[in-house]
Amino acid sequence: MPNGKMKWIRGGRIVTATEDFTGDILVRDEKIVAMGQDLKAMALGAEEVPAAGLLVFPGGIDAHTHLDLPFMGTSSSDDFQTGTIAAAAGGTTSIIDFAIQSQGKSMKDALNVWHEKAAGKAVIDYAFHMAVTDLNERTMTEIPGIIEGGITSFKCFMAYKGALMVDDGQLFRLMQMVKKLGGIVTLHAENAELIESLVPQFLKEGKTAPVYHELAHTAIGEGEATNRAISLSRAAGHPTYIVHLTCDEALHHVKDSLTRHRHPVFAETCPQYLLLDREYYERPGFEGAKWIMSPPLRTKGDQEVLWAALRDGFIQTIATDHCPFDFHTQKQMGKDNFAKIPNGAPGIENRMNLMYTYGVLQNRISLNRFVQILCTNPAKIFGMYPQKGTLAPGADADIVLFDPNVENTISVKTSKHRCDYSAFEGFKTKGAPVGVLGRGEWLFKDGKAVAPKGWGKFVKRARFSGTSEMVR
Ligand SMILES: [Zn+2]
């Protein structure tokens, strides 16, 4: 038998985006080396991992997180260590975080800072989107090098005017440029002018409570910006990816692009937009601040539309937009002014059980579709496939053993994230990861985080090669 650490995952129900069968997986060192029925003969000397009665999924990929992010005068409360431990416990073995360029500085500077935040701390693999906030002749020249370095997706903000926002011309030119070089532009789509008009009007009228955040960040504004983003993408003749899409107003334009214009657009949504609604902002006192995020929670009607779109292929990925701030300290910065409440909420460890419980078990999405939107599609769209996002010989041994019978109630008391509340407090879940491997190493086992510190590695991603086949 060749040398190397082996694990024999035996008799589990193996589920990928396209397959579903009972069998074994053999892992050697960091890779899957074989998959099939009864691999006993090959497994001599391997650590045996009994998986009968368990579902076996590829490790989840969360393509939207903000760990250790300086924002609105504070920093998100999870760093790359605490945040990725929580991710692993929830069945996520890779994240794509955002390296955010500071205005007046280079993109390279931002990347150096984010590499430093993650290296030696992250316990799961990580990649970065390059968030571009200052696009000019000089910074444009950096882009070929950024893509060469394995950062093949870019993010722009159509909101946060004067802080992070880029204008339509900059956005269009960036799309044209990355099209040539093999990248993709992802977008936070909200109409900045509407927000910047409504916020001061509310404040002037003494309307300072959390609910006014939602009233300033309208679904109409999100729809308008989504349409504009897609129009620029069509003009550039290159696909785009809409991050955290929340509502029918925005989804409408994605559907229109895919069906009427046959122009590929990818859309991502998050568990909070599927399961929580705007009534959370009307909770007594200041509690609504816990769910202040942009875009905000929408209506129950929007939730149903998003679920249908996940099923029908108009939305391709689920991410968390994990961006936690402590309620008792950080969120209080906006006690007298909703516009000063740091935007974001925790969610990195709840993606898989929530989507299994409320998606698969409620027959809103199939088990294969569940794997596709949590694992495979993010890997394909963002250049990590087939190294990640599926179970196959040659792929990284990122594997989730999922017990479909475990029942839990989500609570901050049992959460591994570093934040003083859970956005999903009290939610009942059925099914949970009981063992998680990242590149063949145990990250989470029997309820305990056991990942070696700093086990996570930077993932250099391939160039964007998305086709419309991938869209649906
Ligand atoms: Zn975000």
* CA 64 to ligand 1 center in whole angstroms: 6
* CA 321 to ligand 1 center in whole angstroms: 5
* C-alpha to C-alpha distance for 64 and 205, rounded to whole angstroms: 35
* CA 66 to ligand 1 center in whole angstroms: 7
Sign for the pseudo-dihedral over CA of 116, 118, 119, 120: positive
* CA 188 to ligand 1 center in whole angstroms: 8
**To the nearest 5 percent, what fractions of the chain are helix, strand and coil?**
35, 25, 40
* CA 272 to ligand 1 center in whole angstroms: 13
Domains of the chain, CATH where assigned: 59-387 (3.20.20.140)
* C-alpha to C-alpha distance for 418 and 121, rounded to whole angstroms: 14
Both tokens assigned to 336:
């007298």
* CA 155 to ligand 1 center in whole angstroms: 10
Exposed/middle/buried for residue 332 (C-beta within 10 Å: 0-12, 13-18, 19+):
middle
* CA 269 to ligand 1 center in whole angstroms: 11
What does 346-376 look like in DSSP terms, one character per residue? --TTTHHHHHIIIIITTTSS-HHHHHIIIII
Compute the half-sphere exposure of residue 57: CA atoms within 13 Å on the CB side of its CA: 32
67-95: b (≥16 Cβ within 10 Å) or e? bbbebbeebbbbbbbbbbbbbbbbbbbbb
Q: Is the pTM of this model over 0.85?
A: yes
Mean pLDDT by 10 residues, the chain (472 residues): 78 98 98 95 95 98 97 94 98 98 94 98 98 91 96 95 90 96 97 97 98 98 98 97 98 97 96 98 97 98 98 97 98 97 97 98 98 97 97 98 98 97 98 98 96 97 77 56
Residues 6+ apart with CB under 8 A from 150: 127, 458, 459, 460, 461
* CA 323 to ligand 1 center in whole angstroms: 7
* CA 65 to ligand 1 center in whole angstroms: 6
Q: What is the pLDDT of residue 160?
A: 87
Q: What is the pLDDT of residue 162?
A: 83
* CA 49 to ligand 1 center in whole angstroms: 37
335-344: b (≥16 Cβ within 10 Å) or e? eeebbebbbb
Q: H or E segment at 61? A: strand 60-65
- Quick check: 327 and 244 in contact, CB under 8 A? no
* CA 334 to ligand 1 center in whole angstroms: 19
* CA 450 to ligand 1 center in whole angstroms: 28
Three-state SS at 276: coil
DSSP β-ladder status, 20-28 and 441-445: unpaired
* CA 60 to ligand 1 center in whole angstroms: 18
Q: H or E segment at 431? A: strand 428-438
Please name every residue paired with 445 in a beta bridge, in sequence order, or none if there are none.
435, 448
